[in-house]
Structures are given as C-alpha cells and as structure tokens.
Amino acid sequence: MSLAHQGQRFLVSGGASGIGLAVARLALARGARVCLLDRDRATLEAVCGELGDGAFAAVCDVADPLAVGAAVAQAAEQLGGIDALVNSAGIDSRMPLEQLSDAEWARTLAVNLTGPMLLCRAALPHLRGAGGGTIVNVSSGAGLSPLLHRTAYCASKAGVIMFGKALAIEVAPDNIRVNAVCPGAVDTPLFRTSYEQSADPERDLELIRQRYALHRIAQPEELAEAILYLSGPGSSYITGTALAVDGGRTFH
C-alpha cells in the first residue's frame, strides 16, 4: 500500500458511512490521520473504534454554524492541524416541486451547500496555518445534469460546484486547492434507501445500471481513490475543477 499521504491530516464530514468512511479508511491506510465528522454519535464512535489508531471523531450537524466551528476546532486539536478537508456529508431529496415543502428545500440546501461553506470557512485558518492544503467537495452528477423530481438536490449540488470554483480563486494565493468530485450512483446506504423501497428493487437497479456506460454502480472505494488523488501531491496543479466519477453517465 502506498504511503503517499503519510502524515497528512484529514477532516472528513459524513465520515460514519458511505463515501466519507471509504475516504477515511483509504487515507489511514496510506499513512494519514483522520478526524471523522458525523451527527450520528453511536455509529461514529463505533466506526472510529474499528478504524483504530489515527482515527478521531467529532459529532457535528454540518448545517449548524456553532457546531461546525466547535467540531473543526476539536479536529484541529486532535490532529495537530488540518491539511485536507473532504466535504462528504449530504442528503437526498426526491419529489415534484409542487410537493416540496419549504422545510425540505431549506434542509437540503443547508446540508448540501451551506454545510460545505461552513466547514470551509472554519477550516481555512487551519489550512493556512499548515502552509496550504486541499479541499474536496463531494457534489454529484446531478450538479452537472438535471434529474427528474430532484430540484432541491440538483440545485444544492450544482451550487457546491460553483462555490468551490469561486473559493479556488480566492484561496489560491494561500496554496490551498479546491476541487469537487461528481459521482453518479454509488453503493452507499443513502443510495440503497432510494431504491429498496420500490415495488421491484432489482428491476429499478437494473434500469439505473443501464444509464451508465460501464453498466454498473460505483463502489465507495472508487470515489475515495479520486478524492485522495485530489487531496495529494499528484494533483498539485489541479484546482477549481469538478471531476465526474460516474462510469460515463454524463455522456452515455
């Protein structure tokens, strides 16, 4: 296993499951130390116990400004600084606009767009203090092309792409790079919940596969590889980009 991230200090939101957990596992395996943020205390503590040395936990709702500030400060203390931020926490929203409540619209944008903003804002002083660093925002293919009945979700994921591009310009003089990954369907708890409640989950899953040139669903570890690449020295001349990691969905 490569130790390309030896000594790097990662802060990963949404770290208790899915893509965030895969990022934490891979970063630890490559020599990094990781603080995982999540609002599910029990799961977060269990995950950190499983991950072992080098893994730390901070309980946080990413949509709560005060909680974010406290969690980032805690993470920086636990890790001795922050070199890399991965904004992986997110929620889904699926319904026609006329059925979309004000509360669901607000919550979707609060978690998927305001959350990354709050974490970036709180982490920037620590990244500067480290002499520079990286930010990777987990957006979605839905931020690049629209999906039916997903107005709130698409708006939030497109917003985080442009937020990252604007921030990349702002913090480039500080040697901080900001990028996004845009996954398609990934085999995570969030994705499985979206189709397992249907009348025929296997049929629906096959219909989803057919949308992708590679005709399969991504594994979280495949997204983690892309995120670690954008967080490491091999991508030192890449900033302000949105990398589609979607099995060919956007052109298929």
The secondary element (H helix, E strand) that includes residue 165 is helix 151-171
- pLDDT confidence of residue 1: 58
Q: What does the DSSP 8-state code read for residue 145?
A: S
* Choice among 153, 195, 212, 229 that is catalytic: 153
CATH number at residue 104: 3.40.50.720
pLDDT at 60: 96
Q: What is the pTM of this model?
A: 0.95
What CA–CA distance (Å, rounded) separates 181 from 230?
A: 9
Work out the burial of residue 240: count CB atoms within 10 Å of its CB; fewer than 13 is exposed, 13-18 middle, 19 or more buried.
Answer: middle
Q: Is 153 a catalytic residue?
A: yes
pLDDT band at residue 204 using 50, 70 and 90 as cut-offs: confident
The answer to whether residue 144 sits within a structural domain is yes
Q: Residue 56: is its pLDDT beyond 90?
A: yes
Q: Give the mean model confidence (pLDDT) for residues 79-83.
A: 98
Say what the pLDDT of residue 218 is.
92
Query: What's the mean pLDDT in 28-38?
Result: 98
For the chain, the average pLDDT equals 95
Which candidate, 79, 66, 70, places its Cα nearest to that of 35? 79
Between CA 131 and CA 240 the distance in angstroms is 19
Looking up tokens 């990244």 gives 127
Radius of gyration (Cα) for the chain, nearest Å? Answer: 17
- Name, in order, each residue with C-beta under 8 angstroms of 8's C-beta and a sequence gap of 6 or more: 27, 31, 32, 33, 83, 84, 231, 232
209 is a domain residue: no
**pLDDT level of residue 32 (50, 70, 90 thresholds):** very high
Residue 213 lies in a domain: no
Reply yes or no on whether the pLDDT at 252 is more than 60: no
pLDDT digits (tens, 9 = 90+) for 90-105: 999 999 999 999 999 9
Check whether 130 has a pLDDT greater than 90: yes
* 74: pLDDT strictly greater than 60: yes
pLDDT score, position 203: 87
Q: How does 193-209 read in b/e, with b if 16+ C-beta sit within 10 Å? A: eebeeeeeeeeebeebe
pLDDT tens-digit series, residues 206-218: 888 998 889 899 9
Q: Average pLDDT, stretch 13-24?
A: 97
192 vs 224 pLDDT, higher one: 224
Across the beta sheet with 84-87, the strand order is: 55-59, 33-38, 9-13, 84-87, 133-138, 176-183, 242-245
Residues 6 or more apart from 209 whose CB is under 8 A from it? 215, 216, 217
CA 156, chain centre distance (Å): 13
User: How far is residue 158 from each of residues 40, 44, 114, measured CA to CA in Å?
Assistant: 26, 28, 13
Query: What confidence score (pLDDT) does residue 91 get?
Result: 94
Q: Is residue 42 domain-resident?
A: yes
Residue 89 has pLDDT above 80, yes or no: yes
Flag the least confident range among 118-122, 133-137, 207-211.
207-211
Domain presence at residue 20: yes
pLDDT of residue 109: 99
The count of structural domains within the chain is 1
**Would 3 be classed as within a structural domain?**
no
Residue 173: domain span: 9-183+218-244
User: Residue 208: its pLDDT value, please?
Assistant: 86
In a domain, 225, yes or no: yes
Average pLDDT for 219-236: 98
DSSP string, 182-216: EE-SB-SHHHHHHHHTSS-HHHHHHHHHTTSTT-S
| Contact between residue 157 and residue 111 where contact means Cβ atoms under 8 Å apart | no
Whole-number pLDDT of residue 200: 84
Is 188 a member of any domain? Answer: no
- 133-138 and 176-183 beta bridge pairing: parallel
